[in-house]
Amino acid sequence: MISTPVHFKTISLHSTGGMVQFLAFLSLCMFLVFPLSGNQTDERQKHTLNLMPMPENVAVNDGFYPLTEDFSVSLDNRGGRSSERISKAISRFLHRLSGRTGLFFKTHEIGAGIPTGGKSNQTGLTVSFQRTGEVKLGEEESYTLTIDNTGIRLEAVTDIGAMHGIETLLQLLDADPTGYGFPFVDIKDKPRFPWRGLMIDSCRHFFPVDAIKRNLDAMAAVKLNVFHWHLSENQGFRVECKSFPKLHLMGSDGLYYTQDQIRDVIAYAADRGIRVMPEFDIPGHSTAWFVGYPQYASAPGPYSIERLYGVFDPTFNPTTKATYTFFTKFFKEMAALFPDEYMHIGGDENNGVQWDSNPGIQAFKSKHNIKDNHNLQAYFNKKILAILTKYRKKMMGWDEIFQPELPTTIVIHSWRGKESLKEAAVKDYNSVLSNGYYIDLAQPTDFHYLNDPLSDDLGLNEEQKKRILGGEATMWAELISEETIDSRIWPRTAAIAERFWSPAGVKDVRDMYRRLDGISLQLEEHGLTHIKNRDMILRRLAKNSDIEPLKVLLNVFEPLEGYNRHSQATYTFFSPLTRFVDAAWPDAPKSREFGFDVETFMTQNPSRENGDRLLTQLNTWKENHEKLKRIIDSSPVLKEIETASEDLSKIAEIGIQAVENRLSGTKRGEEWLKECKDTLEKAKQPRGHGELTIISAIGRLLQNN
Amino acid sequence: MISTPVHFKTISLHSTGGMVQFLAFLSLCMFLVFPLSGNQTDERQKHTLNLMPMPENVAVNDGFYPLTEDFSVSLDNRGGRSSERISKAISRFLHRLSGRTGLFFKTHEIGAGIPTGGKSNQTGLTVSFQRTGEVKLGEEESYTLTIDNTGIRLEAVTDIGAMHGIETLLQLLDADPTGYGFPFVDIKDKPRFPWRGLMIDSCRHFFPVDAIKRNLDAMAAVKLNVFHWHLSENQGFRVECKSFPKLHLMGSDGLYYTQDQIRDVIAYAADRGIRVMPEFDIPGHSTAWFVGYPQYASAPGPYSIERLYGVFDPTFNPTTKATYTFFTKFFKEMAALFPDEYMHIGGDENNGVQWDSNPGIQAFKSKHNIKDNHNLQAYFNKKILAILTKYRKKMMGWDEIFQPELPTTIVIHSWRGKESLKEAAVKDYNSVLSNGYYIDLAQPTDFHYLNDPLSDDLGLNEEQKKRILGGEATMWAELISEETIDSRIWPRTAAIAERFWSPAGVKDVRDMYRRLDGISLQLEEHGLTHIKNRDMILRRLAKNSDIEPLKVLLNVFEPLEGYNRHSQATYTFFSPLTRFVDAAWPDAPKSREFGFDVETFMTQNPSRENGDRLLTQLNTWKENHEKLKRIIDSSPVLKEIETASEDLSKIAEIGIQAVENRLSGTKRGEEWLKECKDTLEKAKQPRGHGELTIISAIGRLLQNN
C-alpha cells in the first residue's frame, strides 16, 4: 500500500471550465504520479473516479486507504448540538458499505455506538460539522473530504453538507488486490443551485410509500434536495384530508396517503436533507376534488374520477365566497401537515371551458371588469396567495401563474420554455426550470444533461441569474406504474442532478454515460427496480426464464418519445403498463454504445479490429429474430414486436454489408444504396408503442458507400 | 377454436390416490380426446395444467375459451349481501390478467362497473357465492370452476372460496395461436386442512409493510390462509404499544409497525381471505421487552436489545403480581388490535437460567410446591390463558406449552417433531405442524413437500386426525434481509401450500418441480423479489452488469443447510446479508435438473444424446472458472468463492471423463477412481457459507466405472 502522498494538486472545475480538460489533466496526473511503481502503478491507473454529481474541486493523490472490519466512524461536532440525523446517516453508510463489501464491521450500531467528542480514530472516518442544518431553501450544503494515510476526514458547516460528503465517499469506494478501500483525494464541494428537485406525480398513477422512500434514498445519493409531490389531479386526490374527507374518500379509489404516512415520508426526507413540497393543482386539473365536493366547481355535477388523460374542463369556481372559505380551511390543514415553506398550487392548463359557459362567472367578470380568463385566474391566485400567506407559506406555481398582478414573492415553475424563466428573472421573480427535464417523455439522458437552467443565451446579468434557483426533473405518471417508475426516473435523473449541482463546465457526454453506468448499479442498493424489473417484465411476457432473445431486441428498442405513445392507443388509468415497451429504457444502452463505435469506425481509418467489433454485434442482431420468433409464437402479447425483430435482422444485414464494404474498400451501386435506405426508412415505423434505435447509426455506416 | 365439449371425465385424486396415476391418466385423456383433429391436436396437447396447489378434482375437456378485450366479469351473489371484498378481488384479477396479456380491457373499474344481479354475460366470467365468508378458522373455502364454450362459471359458498377459484383461473391462463384464453375444465376443489399458514419473523430482522403485503398476495395466490406474525423477540419488539410505549420506543431501534400499519395489514390480509395471528413470545425470547421495562424480568437490568442470535437468559418473572397486571393491560390492547380469535404466546426455549438464579423465584416454587421450571412455566401459562380468555382469545403456543395442567382449548404448535403432534392429538389437543417446514434452514423443496402433517406412521384414528388442523411454514429471520426474504420463502412455500391444500396423494416430486417453475414466475407479478434480487446482488458484488459467470456458479451453489451457516461466522443483527451465498437459492435449479439427467443417463442404456446433454452442461462448468476468476480478481468480496469455482471446474472434468467412459464402455482403474473420489470429497467443504450441490450427481456418474 502506498501511503505517502507524493502529489497534490487542486483542480478547480470552475476555472478550467471543462470536463474534457479536467479528464485530460487527470490522466496526465495519474501518469505523472505513478510512473515508477511497477505493477502497483498498473493497478492504480485502473482507478477512474466514478463520481456523480462531479464535485466542484477534486484532487486525486497517490495512495489508497484500506477498509477493514476494524473500520470505525467518529463524530466530532465541535461543540454544536449533536445531530440524530447524522448518526442515522452514519449507520446507513456503514450498512451500505458492509452490503457492498461483505465485511462484518465490529462497530455498527444504529444511532448509538458512534464515539463522539474525541478528535478521531486513526483507523476510520471522522465527521465534523458546526451545526444542525435546516431543511430549507438556501441552507449551507458544502463539505470537504480528505482521504490520506491518516484516515478519512469529512468536514462541513451543517450535517446536511456532511451527508453529501458521505455520498461522495460511498461513490469513491474501490478495490485493489489487497481488498477494499478509498483512493487518496482532496475534495471541496458545494452545489451550483440551491433548488435541485424531482417531482413525482402520485395522481395519474399511485405509488406506495415504499416506492417514494426508495426514490428519496436515490435522490440523496445524487444530492437532490427537493421532493416535489404532485398530490391532486383529475385522476385522483391522494392525501387524507380531515377537514374535507370526501376529497380522499371519494376522489382516490382508496389510493391515498394517510397523514401518518405523509409525516413519515417528510421525516424520512428530512433525514436525508430533502425538502418535501406538496402540490395541489388548482383551479384546473381538479376533477377528483369535485367527486365529493361538486359545489366548488364551475359547472354542476355530478363528477366522477377521470380515467382518461389530457386537459379536462372541471375547474374551481373563482367567483364564489364558498370557494375561498373551502380553501382557507383546506390550506390551513395542509400548511400544518407539510412543514416546507413553499406550497405549489399548480395553476396550469385551465382551459376556461367551464368558466366561459357559466353565466354567473361571466357576470362576475363584467362586474369586476376582469377582461379575460387569464385575469380571472390572476384574481383567483391573489385570493389563494392571501390564504397561503396567512399560513406562512410562499406560493409556487407553473408558468401560468406568472401574472403582473402577483407580487415577486411567488416562484415561477417553468414548464413551457426558457422564455418564461428569463422573463421572470428580468421582472424580479424567482424561478425554477422543468422545461427540458420532463423525464416522462422518454428522451435520452444527454438531452436533459445538456439543458442548463442558466444557459448563456438567456443573456441575464449576475443579479438576474441568482433568481434562477435551479431545476426539477418531472415524473408525470400517465404511462408509469409502480413496476416501471424507477426505470423512468433512474439513472437519467442522476445526470440531471449533476446539471443542478456541478459546475456548468462539467458536460462531457461520453464521460457522463460512463459514470452513469456505475452510479446506476449503485442506486440498486436502495431497492430501486430500474434494472431488475426489465427482466421481470420480460419473464412475465415470455412465461419463461429464458429471455435472452427478448433482451437483445430490448437493448435497441425505446419507447416512443414525447407524447407519441398516446397516439398508439387510448391509455387510461387501467391500461396495462406491462408490455415490451414498458420494459424498454429511454436510453437503449446497446444503441448508445453502438453509435459511439460506428462513429469511431467512420471517422478513423477503418481497422479490422473495429470492424470485427461491429460485425459481432451486427451478427447477434441478425441472428436474433429466429430465436425470438419462437418466444413470440407462444406469447400473443409479443406479437406486436414481431416486425421490429424482423427489421432488426434486416438492418443488421445492411450494417454487415456496409462494414464489409468499408473494410474492403468496395463501393456498391446506387441501386443497392437506395434499397438499403428504403429498408431503413421502413424500419423507423413505431411498433408496440416503441421504435428501433440503431437506424441512424446503420445509416451512418452507409455514408461514403 | 373447438367449442363443443367432446369429452368429460372427473378424476378424484382422493380415490385414485396418486399424482403419477393422475398424470398418466391425464396424458391418456389428452390422447383420447384429440386423436383426429390434426394440427389443432398438436397445439392442444402442449397444454399441461400448471396448477399449484393441485385441486381436489380436475377434468380437462376439449376446447379453449378465448380472452379478448371485451372480456367482462359479472357478479351474481344470489341475493346474499354483496361483498366489497370480491369486487376488489375481481379488480385485481383483471389487473393481473391485463398485466400478463397486455390487453386493454374495456371494463376495468375498481370496486365498480362490475354488473351485479344478472345471471351472466355470455362472453366472460360469472362469479356467484352464497354469503360473505368470515376470515376465521374453519370457514367454508370450496369452489367449483367450469369453463366451456358458454363462458367461465365460478361458484362458491363464500366469497373466500370464490377468491380461491379466481387464483385457480389465473393459473389456467394459457395461449394458443389465436391468442390468450382458458382451457375447458371442470374443477371441484376444497382444502384438505383448514390451517394453512406462513409465519414471518419480523424481529430478528425487520420487514417493512410493503414486504409483508407482497407476501400476503403470494400467500393468497397459493391458497394459504394464516399469516402468523412473530412480533416480539430478544432482538426487537415490533408493535406500537400505547399502554407501554417503551416497548416499541426502546425495544425496536425505531423499526416497529404502527397500529395504523397493523390495521392496514390485517385489512389487506382479510381482503385476501387470510387471518393474521400475532405472536408475542413469552416468557423467554423477551430481552427487547426489558429494555424499557426491566422490572418484569427475572433478573435486574439494565437490558439492551440483543444483537446476537441464539437462546438467551432474559425471562419474565412469573411469580410477581406486577407481571400479570402488565400482561392484562398489554393483552387487552393487543386483543383489540388483532381481531383473530387466536393469540400465539410462543413459550419456547425458556432456558431457566434467570429463574434458577433468582432466590425469590426459588422461594415461590417451594412455597407453591412447583417442582421444576417446566411446571413453573405451566403456572405462568395458566395465568396468561386466563387473561387471554378474558379478552376472548384462544391461546396457541409452541410445543413447550403442552402441559397437562392446561385445558384442551389451547392449540399446540409443533416445532420439535411429530411426536408432540401425535401426543397432542391423542390427548385431545388441536395442533398445527411446523416441524419439517422450517424454510430458514435452506433445505430443498421436496424435503418440505413430502412432509405430511398426517403421515400414516402417526397411527391416529379418524377423530384424532381431525385435531391436526394443518401446518405452517416458518420464516425465521436471523439470516434474511428485506432483499432476500422473498427468495427464502418463494417458490418453496408454494409446494408446502400444496401439501396443506391438496389431497395427500398429490406427491410426484418431478411434477411438483415442473409446476413450481411456472408458479414461481407468476408470483413475480405481486412484486416479489425472489428471482430478480439474485442478479441484483450479483451485480453489486461484481460492480458490473456482466454477471453470467457468477450465475453459472450460483446455479450449483446452495447456502449451508440447517444451522451450519452460524458456525462459519458470528452473525449479528448488523451483519451483511449481501454476499454470494445470499443470492443463492436453497434449491439450486441447475443442480436439480442435472441430477435428474444423470439419473436418466445411469439407469437407461447410455445414449449419445443424453450423454451430449450432460457434456454440454459439464463443459460450461469446466470452462467457467477462467471467466469467473477475472470478476473475482476485481471484487475482494468474491474471493471467498474462488476455490468453489475451481472445484466446480475440477469435478466437471471428472464428470466429463465419467460420461465418456460410460458412452465408450471404458473402465478406468481403481487409482483413477480413488483420485476422483478424493477430489469430490474435497469439493464438499463449505465455502463462502455455502456449498457446491452437484457433487453427489457427479459421484453417481462414477458408479460402474
A601 touches A610 (CB < 8 A)? yes
Active site residues of A: 349
Instruction: Report CB contact under 8 Å: B521, A531.
Output: no
Instruction: Report CB contact under 8 Å: A521, B545.
Output: yes
Angstrom CA distances, B462 to B284, B414, B420, B465, stand at 36, 20, 18, 5
- Closest among A589, A595, A647, A655 to A619, alpha carbons compared: A655
Residue B124 is given by DSSP the state S
The β-bridge partners of A387 are none
Cell of B406: 392446561
Q: What is the CA radius of gyration of chain A?
A: 28
Whole-number Å distance between alpha carbons of A48 and B217: 44
Among the ranges given (A76-85, A672-681, B189-198), the one the predictor scored with the smallest mean pLDDT: A76-85
Q: Which pLDDT belongs to residue A52?
A: 98
pTM above 0.90, yes or no: yes
Residue B80's pLDDT band (cuts 50, 70, 90): low
Cell of A154: 469529512
Residue A258 dihedral angles phi and psi, to the nearest 5°: -70, 160
Neighbours of A396 (CB within 10 A): 23
Q: Is residue B114's pLDDT more than 50?
A: no
Alpha helices in B84-208 (DSSP H): 84-101, 159-172
Residues of chain B with Cβ-Cβ distance to A538 below 8 Å are none
pLDDT mean over B589-597:
91
How many whole angstroms from its chain centre is CA A294? 36
SS3 state at A123: coil
Among the ranges given (B10-24, B121-135, B330-344, B440-454), the one the predictor scored with the smallest mean pLDDT: B10-24
Instruction: Report CB contact under 8 Å: B104, A482.
Output: no
Helix/strand/coil (H/E/C) assignment for every residue in B486-509: HHHHCCHHHHHHHHHHCCCCCCCH
Neighbours of A183 (CB within 10 A): 18
Mark which residues 216-255 of B lie under 8 Å from A by CB. Answer: 253-254
Residues of chain B with Cβ-Cβ distance to A98 below 8 Å are 574-576, 578
Compute the nearest-CA separation of A126 from chain B (Å).
Answer: 21
Mean pLDDT across chain A:
90
Q: Which member of B94, B533, B635 has the closest CB to residue A175?
A: B635
Q: Which pLDDT belongs to residue A404?
A: 85
Whole-number Å distance between alpha carbons of A88 and A93: 8
A260 phi-psi bin (left φ>0, alpha ψ -120 to 50, beta other): alpha
Residues of chain B with Cβ-Cβ distance to A521 below 8 Å are 539-540, 543-545
B258 touches chain A (CB under 8 A): yes
Cell of B288: 427487547
Instruction: Report CB contact under 8 Å: B527, A483.
Output: yes
Whole-number Å distance between alpha carbons of A664 and A176: 44
Helix/strand/coil (H/E/C) assignment for every residue in B370-391: CCCHHHHHHHHHHHHHHHHHHC
Angstrom CA distances, B13 to B20, B190, B300, B503, stand at 10, 12, 59, 6
Residue B187 dihedral angles phi and psi, to the nearest 5°: -125, 130
Residues of chain B with Cβ-Cβ distance to A525 below 8 Å are 540
| Chain A, nearest residue to B570 by Cα | A104
Q: Which member of B535, B540, B545 has the closest CB to residue A525?
A: B540
Neighbours of A587 (CB within 10 A): 20
> Which residue's C-alpha cell is 398550487?
A345
Q: Is residue A387's pLDDT more than 90?
A: yes
A302 touches chain B (CB under 8 A): no
Instruction: Report CB contact under 8 Å: B518, A574.
Output: no
The helix or strand, by DSSP H or E, that contains position A488, with its residue range, turns out to be helix A485-489
Mark which residues 475-494 of B lie under 8 Å from A by CB. Answer: 482-483
Q: Is residue B657's pLDDT more than 70?
A: yes
B661-683 pLDDT per residue, tens = 999 998 888 999 999 999 999 99
Instruction: Report CB contact under 8 Å: A576, B102.
Output: yes
Instruction: Report CB contact under 8 Å: A545, B105.
Output: no
| Chain B, nearest residue to A633 by Cα | B177
A384 touches A318 (CB < 8 A)? no
| Chain B, nearest residue to A531 by Cα | B536
Q: Which CATH number fits domain A11-189: 1.20.1050.140, 3.30.413.10, 1.25.40.20, 3.30.379.10?
A: 3.30.379.10
Q: How many helices (H) and strands (E) in chain B?
A: 27, 20
- Closest among B404, B410, B400 to B377, alpha carbons compared: B400
Q: Enumerate the domain spans of chain A.
A: 11-189, 532-702
B287-338 pLDDT per residue, tens = 999 999 999 999 999 999 999 999 999 999 999 999 999 999 999 999 999 9
Q: Which member of A518, A521, A540 has the closest CB to residue B100?
A: A540
Q: Which pLDDT belongs to residue B118?
A: 42
Give A372's contacts (C-beta < 8 A, 6+ positions apart). Answer: none
Mark which residues 7-66 of B lie under 8 Å from A by CB. Answer: none
The helix or strand, by DSSP H or E, that contains position B342, with its residue range, turns out to be strand B342-344
- Closest among A319, A385, A320, A373 to A349, alpha carbons compared: A373
Whole-number Å distance between alpha carbons of B473 and A505: 58
Q: Which pLDDT belongs to residue A121?
A: 47
Q: Which pLDDT belongs to residue B589?
A: 82
- Strands B195-201 and B226-230 come out as parallel
Q: Which member of A210, A260, A532 has the closest CB to residue B210?
A: A210
Residue A605 is given by DSSP the state P
Residue A78's pLDDT band (cuts 50, 70, 90): low
- Closest among B412, B472, B449, B494 to B195, alpha carbons compared: B472
Among the ranges given (A433-447, A538-552, B97-111, B682-696), the one the predictor scored with the smallest mean pLDDT: B97-111
Give B338's contacts (C-beta < 8 A, 6+ positions apart). Answer: B262, B266, B276, B277, B278
Q: Is residue B188's pLDDT more than 80?
A: yes
Angstrom CA distances, A603 to A252, A596, A599, A664, A665, stand at 56, 11, 6, 16, 15
Q: Which pLDDT belongs to residue A42?
A: 36
Angstrom CA distances, B582 to B200, B409, B608, B690, stand at 18, 41, 37, 9
Angstrom CA distances, A228 to A345, A346, A434, A529, A561, stand at 11, 11, 12, 21, 24
pLDDT mean over A105-130:
63
A173-230 pLDDT per residue, tens = 999 888 999 999 999 999 999 999 999 999 999 999 999 999 999 999 999 999 999 9
B406 phi-psi bin (left φ>0, alpha ψ -120 to 50, beta other): beta
pLDDT mean over A383-394:
98
Residue B501's pLDDT band (cuts 50, 70, 90): very high
| Chain B, nearest residue to A578 by Cα | B99
Q: Which pLDDT belongs to residue A2?
A: 33
Whole-number Å distance between alpha carbons of B681 and B546: 32
Instruction: Report CB contact under 8 Å: B524, A539.
Output: yes
Whole-number Å distance between alpha carbons of B469 and B460: 14
Give B365's contacts (C-beta < 8 A, 6+ positions apart). Answer: B371, B376
User: How much of chain B exceeds pLDDT 90, in percent?
Assistant: 82
Longest dimension (CA), chain A: 87
A109 touches chain B (CB under 8 A): yes
Mean pLDDT across chain B:
90
pLDDT mean over B222-235:
98
Among the ranges given (A16-30, A338-352, B337-351, B406-420), the one the predictor scored with the smallest mean pLDDT: A16-30
- Closest among B531, B517, B541, B536 to B596, alpha carbons compared: B517
B100 touches chain A (CB under 8 A): yes
A357 touches chain B (CB under 8 A): no
Instruction: Report CB contact under 8 Å: A177, B633.
Output: yes
Q: Is residue B49's pLDDT more than 90?
A: no
Compute the nearest-CA separation of B533 from chain A (Å).
Answer: 7
Give the best residue of A88, A101, A571 to mutate against chain B (max B CB count within 10 A): A101
Whether a cis peptide bond, with omega within 30° of 0, leads into B302 is yes
Q: Which of B43, B139, B140, B349 is catalytic?
A: B349
Q: Which pLDDT belongs to residue A82?
A: 63
The β-bridge partners of A145 are A154, A187
C-alpha dihedral, B75 to B79 to B80 to B85, nearest 10°:
20
Instruction: Report CB contact under 8 Å: B539, A524.
Output: yes
Q: Is residue A11's pLDDT more than 70?
A: no
SS3 state at B438: strand
Among the ranges given (A274-283, B77-86, B179-188), the one the predictor scored with the smallest mean pLDDT: B77-86
**What are the percentages of helix, strand and coil residues in chain B, rounded to 5?**
45, 15, 40
More confident residue, B643 or A587: B643
Residues of chain B with Cβ-Cβ distance to A575 below 8 Å are 98, 104
Neighbours of B567 (CB within 10 A): 11
| Chain A, nearest residue to B535 by Cα | A532
Query: Does CATH number 3.40.80.10 belong to domain B195-507?
Result: no
Instruction: Report CB contact under 8 Å: B578, A100.
Output: yes
Instruction: Report CB contact under 8 Å: A576, B101.
Output: yes
| Chain A, nearest residue to B526 by Cα | A483
pLDDT mean over A455-462:
89
C-alpha dihedral, B659 to B660 to B662 to B666, nearest 10°:
-150
Compute the nearest-CA separation of B153 from chain A (Å).
Answer: 24
Q: Is residue B207's pLDDT more than 80?
A: yes
Cell of B283: 416468557
Residues of chain B with Cβ-Cβ distance to A210 below 8 Å are 208-210
